[in-house]
Each structure stands twice: as structure tokens, then as C-alpha cells.
């Protein structure tokens, strides 16, 4: 996995544990809020499968 993807996983894990809001996570990942929502949704779907 690339550094970027690992960083995103770590940030989204902090969102899951409610340490960060998705808005703040988007800034840390340097993506738009809408893109962060897409990444979050895709990550949640991958966990459920």
C-alpha cells in the first residue's frame, strides 16, 4: 500500500473512533469534503463485506 493510502486509512480510523470529524479528515487528506464522504462510504462497505 502506498503512503497516501496508509495515511487515509489512519485518518478514517480516527473518524471511526470519533476523534475527528469527516470535515477535518478531508483537510488532513487534502481532498474535498465530498471526496472524503466517498472514501468513507467505500471504506465502510469494504468492512461490511
pLDDT of residue 44: 85
φ and ψ at residue 20, rounded to 5 degrees: -130, 150
If one counts every other C-beta atom within 10 angstroms of the C-beta of residue 28, the result is 15
pLDDT in tens, 1-49: 899 889 999 999 999 999 999 999 999 999 999 999 999 999 888 777 6
pLDDT of residue 43: 85
Residue with cell 496508509: 6
pLDDT of residue 8: 92
If one counts every other C-beta atom within 10 angstroms of the C-beta of residue 39, the result is 20
Question: What residues contact 34, with CB distance under 8 A and at least 6 apart?
Answer: none
Count of domains observed in the chain? 1
Domain that holds residue 32: 3-48
pLDDT of residue 25: 97
Amino acid at each position: 500500500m502506498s503512503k497516501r493510502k496508509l495515511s487515509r486509512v489512519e485518518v478514517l480510523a480516527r473518524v471511526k473512533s470519533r476523534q475527528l470529524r469527516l470535515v477535518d479528515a478531508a483537510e488532513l487528506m487534502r481532498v474535498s469534503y465530498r471526496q472524503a464522504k466517498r472514501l468513507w462510504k467505500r471504506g465502510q462497505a469494504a468492512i461490511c463485506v
